[in-house]
Amino acid sequence: MKKTLITLFALGSVFLSTAHGQNRVFSMVTGHGFEDIYNFGFGMRIGKNLDLARSFALYGGAIGVYHQGKTQNRDTADENTVVETTDNISFAGGEVGLKLRLQMLTINPSVLLAWARINQDIPLYDKVQNLVGKRDENSTEFFAGPGLQIGVPFGNMTISGEIRRHLVKKHETWALYSALTFRF
């Protein structure tokens, strides 16, 4: 997670230092995924719009989001010890899409191609099915996520809502995000 945030910060610094016009974007993102491994999440997005017409542009960028997931306390066999298990997911990747500018709205259909880091604590049981501990299981998986973002621009900012389908094997879900976007 730290490496992901450091990488996005470094890319964002380089990206913003070369900004001109209002085609580059930086967003702060929060959201919620509808599976326990997701739950509340936060992150950032950087990107660039390539204007093709007054009301139409291509979009390309990067996004990284950390989802808090779910933590559970489970009693062990002796009931004097509690095992805390946490399952969560984070992802970072590239995003491509279209940007349609209407009167007071922007509509952005896009596809996310990303690497997800899945962290799970697996409960361990003895021969008679008593909980005795946990085992950390981490995996990395490539996935796609089609989405639709609708925003309302205010000067150099846009406030938007987004619905996205995360097609992560075994953890496929819908997610809703909101974003505050700055254009440079």
Which residue segments constitute the domains of the chain, with CATH numbers given?
2-183 (2.40.160.20)
Residue 20 pLDDT exceeds 50: no
Average pLDDT value for residue range 18-33: 82
Distance (Å, whole) CA 88 – CA 81: 23
Q: What is the pTM of this model?
A: 0.81
* E-only strand ranges, 155-172: 157-166
Question: In the prediction, which pLDDT does 108 show?
Answer: 97
170: CB partners within 8 A, 6+ apart: none
Using an 8 Å Cβ cutoff, are 95 and 70 in contact? no
Residue 7: strand, helix, or coil = helix
Residues β-bridged to residue 178: 30, 161
Beta strands in 54-130 (DSSP E): 56-75, 82-101, 106-125
Q: Is the confidence at residue 157, as pLDDT, over 80?
A: yes
| Average pLDDT of the segment spanning 117-140 | 83
- The tens digit of pLDDT for each residue in 79-98 reads 666 778 889 999 999 999 99
